[in-house]
Structure 1
Amino acid sequence: MAETHAKTFTDPDEATAEAAGLEWLAEAEADGGTRIARVLDRPGPTVLDLELISDGSPTAAQAERFGRSLAHTHAAGAPHWGAPSPGFPEHGELRMGRSRTPFTTAEDAPGTWGEFFAEYRIRDFVRRIVDAGGFDRAEAAVFDRVADRLASAELGSPQPALVGDRPARLHGDLWAGNVLWPTDDGGPTGAVLIDATPHGGHAETDLALLSLFGLPRLERVLAAYDAESRIAAGWQDRVELHQLAPLLLHVFLFGGSYTGAALRAAKRYA
C-alpha cells in the first residue's frame, strides 16, 4: 500500500476543490503531461490522503523531462479564461485562510487573457490590499494603469505553440515548493506536482511563477519547455508582468518587502 500524506483543510469546499483540481490536471498525463500527486482517500470532509512523494534534488534529465511534460499539461487547455476545474464548488472562488482566488463561469468569462488577468487578478487583489490599508491611492493607480493596458490587449502575447489560441490548463500555484523531484528519477515526467489552484490562463503565468522563488535547474526546464512548445518571442520581458498576481497575493498576506517588489514590477508595465 502506498504511503500517504494527510492534508487538512479548514473548509470542506477547500478539500473538494483540491481533489477536483488535481484530478483535472492529471487528465493531461495520458498525453504526456506532468505527473500529479494522487488523492488516495478522503477520510473526512476536510482531509485528503495524498500519495507521499520522496523529494530530492533534480538531475538535469529530470529537469528536461519536467519542462517537456509541463508543456503538455498546458496544452490540455481549459474551456474559458479563469475556468476552474470540473467539480469545483459553485461559489466562484477558492478561499484559503485569508486569501482567495476568484474564478469565472462560462457566462461571465472575459473574452481575452488580458481582461481576465486585469480584473480577476490585478484589480481584485489591489482592491483587497487597499481595503486593508496596504496601498495608498497613488500606489493603487500604478496597478490600475497596468490593468488598463492588459484589458486593451496592449500587453498580450500568444500562447506557447502547443496551446494554440485558447486558455492553457494551468497549475496555478507553480512555485518551486509545489514541484517535487522523486528520488527514483521521476519517471517519464521528471517531477510530480502538488497543491494546485488550476484554472484556464496564460501558460507564461505558470512559467513566471517557477522563477519567482528559485526552482532548481530552471534554465533547463524552460529550455526543454521551449523546445517542446515554442514560447512567444520576448517572453523574458513579460516574466514580471505574469508575476504580478503572486506578488500581489503576498502583499495582501504578508506586506513587507513584497510591497516594494510588486510596485517595482508594476511600474515596468504601467
Structure 2
Amino acid sequence: MRERIGRLLGTRVDDLTDLGRSHSWTLHRAALADGREVFVKTTRDEVGVFAAEAAGLRWLADAGPGTPVPDVLGVDGHMLVLPWLPPAPPTPEAAERLGRELARMHTEDRPDAYGAPWDGFIADLPLDNTPDWRDWPSWYAERRLEPFLRRASRHLSGGDARLVERVIEGAGGLAGPPEPPSRVHGDLWSGNIRWTDGRALLIDPAAHGGHRETDLAMMALFGTPHLDRVLAAYHETAPPADGWRERIPLHQLHPLLVHLELFGGSYRSQVVETARAALAAGR
C-alpha cells in the first residue's frame, strides 16, 4: 500500500497508520517524505465510489473561493487521497463560518440541471445522477425516492410503502416554491462535517445539482454541533424560501430510506413518521 500511495502522489510514504473500516473500504493516515500528512481510503473492489467522491469534491469546489471542501490529492479505482485534517472542537465561530460558506456554495455559480454528469453513490449504494432540466420534485421522486423505496421495501409493510408512495405522488405539491438547482453535498450529516483549524470542511459527498434545503435538512437529521449558529449565518447570507422548516421531512425521507436499506428495520418507524410528517406539512 505504501508503494501505491507513493506512486499516486509522486513521493515516498514514511509512515502508515490504519484507522479502521467504513462501509467497504479501509481508512489510513500516511506521513509523506515531503512533510505532508494525508488521509487515504482504499478498497479492493473498483466500483466507482472514489471516482464519484473525487468528482463531487472538485465540482463543489468549483462554486468559488472559500468553498468548504478539501482538495483531492490523488484518486484511482482503488484509492482516494485527501489532506489530513487535524480534528478540532466545533466552535460557534466555525459554525457561523460554515453557514456563510454553505450558503455561498448553494447560491453562487449554480449548475444548469438537477443530477450530475457522473455515476453517484451514497455510502457504497449507487445513486441515479441522470441530469434533468425539469423541476426538482420530479427529479427527487424519480431519482431518489422511488429507487430507494424499491431497495428498502422488504423492511416495510404494504401500508408503510403506500405512505412513501403518497409522498412520491404528491412531491410537486409538497416541495414549496420552485428552486433552481444548487451544488449540494447530498449526504451532509454531522459525521461528514470535519471540524478543523477554526473552520469546518465537508467530506464524503454524494454531490449533485439538487435542492439546497436537502443539505439543511440532512444537518438536522442526526444532530450537528451549533446547528442554530450554522442556520442563522446561512439565513443572513442566502435565506431559504418561507416554510422551509416544514419541508424538512420531505428532504429527510431519502436519507432515511438509505439508512433503512443499509442498516435494516430499526429505521422503519422513522421512515414512516417522516413520510407522515411530509404529507402533513403539505395540507
TM tier relative to shorter chain: 0.7 to 0.9
Query: Partner residue of 1:69?
Result: 101
Where does the alignment leave 5 or more consecutive residues of structure 1 unmatched?
160-164
Larger Rg: 2
Query: Partner residue of 2:121?
Result: 94
Where does the alignment leave 5 or more consecutive residues of structure 2 unmatched?
1-34
Distance, in Å, in 1 between the alignment partners of 2:263 and 2:90 is 30
More strand by share: 2
Q: State the 1:46 CA deviation.
A: 0.8
Q: State the 1:256 CA deviation.
A: 3.0
Query: Partner residue of 2:183?
Result: 169
- 5 Å-filtered alignment, 1:237-256, equals 237-256=246-265
Q: State the 1:95 CA deviation.
A: 7.1
Query: Partner residue of 2:70?
Result: 37
8 Å contact 1:33–1:71 — kept in the other structure?
A: no
Q: State the 1:246 CA deviation.
A: 0.4
TM-score where L is the length of structure 1: 0.84
8 Å contact 2:194–2:202 — kept in the other structure?
A: yes
Identity %: 40
Q: RMSD of the alignment, in Å? A: 1.8
* 1:109-151 Cα deviation digits (max 9, x unpaired): 2611111111111111111122xx212222111111111110x
Distance, in Å, in 1 between the alignment partners of 2:87 and 2:64 is 20
8 Å contact 2:63–2:110 — kept in the other structure?
A: no
* 1:79-133 Cα deviation digits (max 9, x unpaired): 2122x2x5x2xxx443754x2211113xxx2611111111111111111122xx2
- 5 Å-filtered alignment, 1:188-227, equals 190-227=199-236
8 Å contact 2:41–2:79 — kept in the other structure?
A: yes
Matching residue within 43, 46, 57 for 1:22: 57
Query: Partner residue of 2:91?
Result: 59
Query: Per the alignment, do residues 129 and 25 of structure 1 end up closer, same or farther by CA in structure 2, a change over 3 Å counting?
Result: same
SS of equivalent residue, structure 2 residue 126:
strand
Query: Partner residue of 1:137?
Result: 158
Indicate whether 1:80 and 2:113 are aligned.
Answer: yes
Query: Partner residue of 1:127?
Result: 150
8 Å contact 1:67–1:221 — kept in the other structure?
A: yes
Give the letter aligned to residue 102 of structure 1.
D
TM-score where L is the length of structure 2: 0.81
Q: What is the aligned length?
A: 243
Distance, in Å, in 2 between the alignment partners of 1:103 and 1:179 is 23
SS of equivalent residue, structure 2 residue 39:
strand
Query: Partner residue of 1:162?
Result: none
Q: State the 1:245 CA deviation.
A: 0.6
Query: Per the alignment, do residues 93 and 191 of structure 1 end up closer, same or farther by CA in structure 2, a change over 3 Å counting?
Result: closer
8 Å contact 2:141–2:168 — kept in the other structure?
A: yes
Distance, in Å, in 1 between the alignment partners of 2:174 and 2:72 is 38
Matching residue within 109, 113, 117 for 2:136: 113
Query: Partner residue of 2:24?
Result: none
* 1:226-264 Cα deviation digits (max 9, x unpaired): 010011112111111110010010011112331100101
Q: State the 1:45 CA deviation.
A: 2.9
Distance, in Å, in 1 between the alignment partners of 2:272 and 2:261 is 13
Query: Per the alignment, do residues 66 and 96 of structure 1 end up closer, same or farther by CA in structure 2, a change over 3 Å counting?
Result: closer
Give the letter aligned to residue 2 of structure 1.
R
| Runs of 4+ off more than 6 Å | none
Matching residue within 16, 38, 47 for 1:4: 38
Distance, in Å, in 2 between the alignment partners of 1:49 and 1:93 is 19
SS of equivalent residue, structure 1 residue 243:
helix
8 Å contact 2:175–2:247 — kept in the other structure?
A: no
SS of equivalent residue, structure 1 residue 233:
coil
